Homo-oligomer: A and B are copies of this chain.
Amino acid sequence: MFEFFRKYLEDKISIAEADYQLIESVCIFKKLRKHQFLLNEGDVCTHSGFVCKGFLRKYSVNDNGIEHTVYFATENWWISDRQSLMNCTPSSYNIDAIEDAVVLLISKSNIEMLSEKIPAFKDMVNLILQRSLNATQERINYALRSTAEERYSQFLKSFPSLVHRAPRHMVASYLGITPETLSRIRKQISSK
């Protein structure tokens, strides 16, 4: 499974063979069956996850028991609760598998170790951070200023492959609308 991550790295940075071995030595692989959890609300997130295979989501549950999907992750995406990881505080999110998955885990301290020993790795981590921030800010813009239909269209455009893999009600909660509204929007769009 390491080859997936290796390919990802080769694509982004250029490092020595010894460094790949160092990286591999701290990777932990975790298989998840559908519905199995990678992180439970209340637990402290201790590892960053890189998705080798499968499909996961991150979500919170409000007081009324309603789930709010905040993030999807598929092959070559990272997933974790950065806030919990950074501050060692209990997470307010759950992460579980939508499809059977294999996730590569690296502990917080090993991420720091690798960042120190491999400058290019550190730069990559920072680049990812910057990209995430840009994407997240883009998403805020859409969330605040667009109608439900526009948000769904944007989602389709940004993540065409996810739409078919994610159950509709999760997409709806990602967009901040109810499943019923999403169903009506889809009907409207298809009739155009």
Seen from chain A, the residues whose Cβ lies within 8 Å of a Cβ on chain B are: 60, 62, 68, 70, 82-83, 86, 126, 129-130, 132-134, 136-137, 139-141, 143-145, 175-176
Contact = CB atoms under 8 A, between A and B. Distances in A.
Contact of A133 (B82, B141, B145): B82
A136 B140 contact: yes
Given A126-B126, A145-B68, A176-B145, A137 B134 contact: no
A140 B140 contact: yes
A98 to B, nearest CB: 19
A185 to B, nearest CB: 16
A160 to B, nearest CB: 21
Given A143-B140, A143-B143, A175-B144, A130 B68 contact: no
Contacts of A130: 82, 86, 129
A134 B132 CA distance: 10
Nearest to A71: B137
Contacts of A60: 141
Given A126-B129, A130-B82, A130-B86, A68 B144 contact: yes
Contacts of A82: 130, 133-134, 137
Given A129-B133, A132-B133, 20 more contacts: A68-B141, A68-B145, A70-B137, A70-B140, A70-B141, A82-B130, A82-B137, A86-B130, A86-B134, A126-B129, A129-B129, A129-B130, A133-B136, A136-B136, A136-B137, A136-B140, A140-B140, A140-B143, A143-B143, A145-B176
